[in-house]
Amino acid sequence: MVSYLTEELVHQGHDVTLFASGDSTTSARLWPGCDTALRLKGEPDASALAQHLLMIECVTQQAYRFDIVHFHLDFMPFSMIRSAGLAAVTTLHGRQDIEGQLSLFREFDDMHLVSISDAQRTSMPWANWTATVHHGVPSRLYTPCPVGSEYLAFLGRISPEKRADRAVEIARRAGMQLRVAAKIDEADREYYETIRGTLEQPHVQFLSEIGDADKCAFLRKAAALLFPIDWPEPFGLVMIEALACGTPVIAFRGGSVEEIIEEGVTGFIVESVEEAVEAVKRIPSIDRRRCRAVFEERFSARRMCNDYLRVYERVIEETSAGNGPYLDRAAVA
């Protein structure tokens, strides 16, 4: 999301500095916080934290150059934002009902926050929410397919909250093939071992993790994407990636799902495996062209960028920190 937003900001003529790993590909001015992406290096938690804090310090030292600083580092920059009086906004990307965090957010209730869904705000309705900005992806990344194939798709992570095992059961009961493209983080390795046999059933093809280059072919040919979550999903990027391909979504109710999927238009919202199996039978009633049209209207990177530009204008106005040409210079970290 940071990359998609940065590229669209540059495309629209804004001067953007991206604070990220040195191996990042960007049209913006890149300030490298480390040589390579921390996830790819497998850095220990303490080392990764140190790298993030160092980058925040560097952003703060250069903040005089920017009209607005947009953070994507959760609560880590809050103290710096307050002490330096930065014109800054923070997008929260994860769930916020984690025990122990609420007291910190209450202390920093003056921070300008952006939620990625209205549902994400549930545990902190009192916070200083500036806006909800749904994610968006570049339209050119995905080519819609007017007709799906005879398989269901699961894309994401093998984790307890994503429930790939539900997808396997839905496909089995529906008499369809299931293709699973999912990464396995070390934190979820134990869970993967408990459902490994499930993923080895004859009607399942497990492809492991795939990159952006392969997502389009994987999603656009599917009859539908299964999104059988078992947690309050903050957003669910894979849902809009599927819609970009013209592929309808069958999703379990929870979190952001009702904000993303239009019942009977872009897919079906269900509450059980049985309801999901019935929804599979109704897939032909969904117009795949309409799925793509809804994506263009609601979930493109351009729409996301324009939403954020309105957020930037509001934050700059409220903090009275705009220096130089209005909204010409932005920093993203």
| pLDDT at residue number 47 | 84
Question: 77 and 88 in contact (C-beta within 8 Å)?
Answer: yes
pLDDT at 322: 44
In CATH terms, 140-297 corresponds, of 3.10.20.30, 3.40.190.10, 3.40.50.2000, 3.40.1370.10, to 3.40.50.2000
Nearest Cα to Cα of residue 226 among 152, 141, 129, 333 = 152
Q: Which CATH superfamily is domain 2-136+300-332 in?
A: Glycogen Phosphorylase B; (3.40.50.2000)
Q: Please say whether the beta carbons of 60 and 86 come within 8 A.
A: yes
Residues 188, 160: Cα–Cα separation, whole Å: 8
- Long-range contacts at 62-65 (CB < 8 A, ≥ 24 apart): 62/17, 62/31, 62/331, 63/331, 64/323, 65/17, 65/329, 65/331
- Sheet containing 249-252: which strands, arranged edge to edge? 204-208, 177-183, 151-157, 224-227, 249-252, 267-270
* Helix, strand, coil in percent for the chain, rounding step 5: 40, 20, 40
pLDDT at 43: 67
Name 235's Cβ contacts closer than 8 Å, sequence gap at least 6: 93, 116, 117, 120, 134, 135, 255, 256, 260
Give the model's pLDDT for residue 326: 47
**pLDDT of 41:** 72
2-136+300-332 and 140-297 in the same fold: yes
Domain assignments of the chain as residue spans, ordered by start: 2-136+300-332, 140-297
Distance in angstroms (rounded) separating the CA atoms of residues 133 and 5: 11
pLDDT per 10-residue tile (average), the chain, 333 residues? 97 97 95 85 79 93 94 95 95 89 94 98 95 97 90 96 97 98 91 94 93 90 97 96 97 97 98 98 97 98 98 92 52 73
Q: Give me the pLDDT at residue 186, please.
A: 86
Tokens representing 1 are 């999301």
Distances (CA, A) of 199 to 175, 179, 180, 194: 16, 10, 8, 10
Q: What is the pLDDT of residue 48?
A: 86
- Of 174, 175, 145, 150, give the one whose Cα is nearest residue 287: 145
3-class SS of residue 152: strand
DSSP strand E in 133-245: where? 151-157, 177-183, 204-208, 224-227
Residue 188: its pLDDT value, please?
Answer: 92
**Of 201, 210, 196, 149, residue with least CA distance to 170:** 201
pLDDT of residue 187: 87
